[in-house]
Amino acid sequence: MGKDLKWEGQFIAKKVDRKTEEALRICAADLQRKSAEQAPVDTGDLRANCNVSKLTKRKGKASIRVGYNLPYAIVQHESLHFNHPKGGKAKYLEDPYKENYETYKRIIAKGISEALK
């Protein structure tokens, strides 16, 4: 009588990749929403400009970029002395990222954990 132990590493690795990618997309969408809510408002163009890149894989690492590409986005983000009478604030991308970093780590870890079940 005996039991066979079988390693299915390739299957598990693919499942972990899929779950990690799903988790990254969830985190990116959340950061996009939270950042846009904090972006300064004048015409609304900046809030509408927050975008999420396609998932990329490089050297075994998956990533998604959340950001803005308007010429004045970085100035608005970094200028702490600007007044925003119509709403919003500086550090509109950095602050929600920092505030939610631990949550994003847990979401990704949960995805990996689910893949290993």
The answer to whether residue 45 sits within a structural domain is yes
Asked if residue 4 belongs to a domain, the reply is no
Q: Could you give phi then psi for residue 101, rounded to 5 degrees?
A: -55, -50
Residue 81: inside a domain: yes
Residue 22 has what pLDDT? Answer: 96
Which segments within 1-117 are labelled E, that is strand? 51-52, 56-58, 61-63, 66-67
pLDDT of residue 11: 87
Quickly count: other Cβ atoms within 10 Å of residue 107's Cβ: 16
Mean pLDDT by 10 residues, the chain (117 residues): 85 92 97 98 96 94 96 97 96 98 98 92
42 in any annotated domain: yes
Domain hosting 45: range is: 9-115
Question: Which pTM does this prediction carry?
Answer: 0.89
Contact 46/39 with Cβ under 8 angstroms? Answer: yes
State how far the Cα of 87 lies from the Cα of 85, in Å rounded to an integer.
Answer: 6
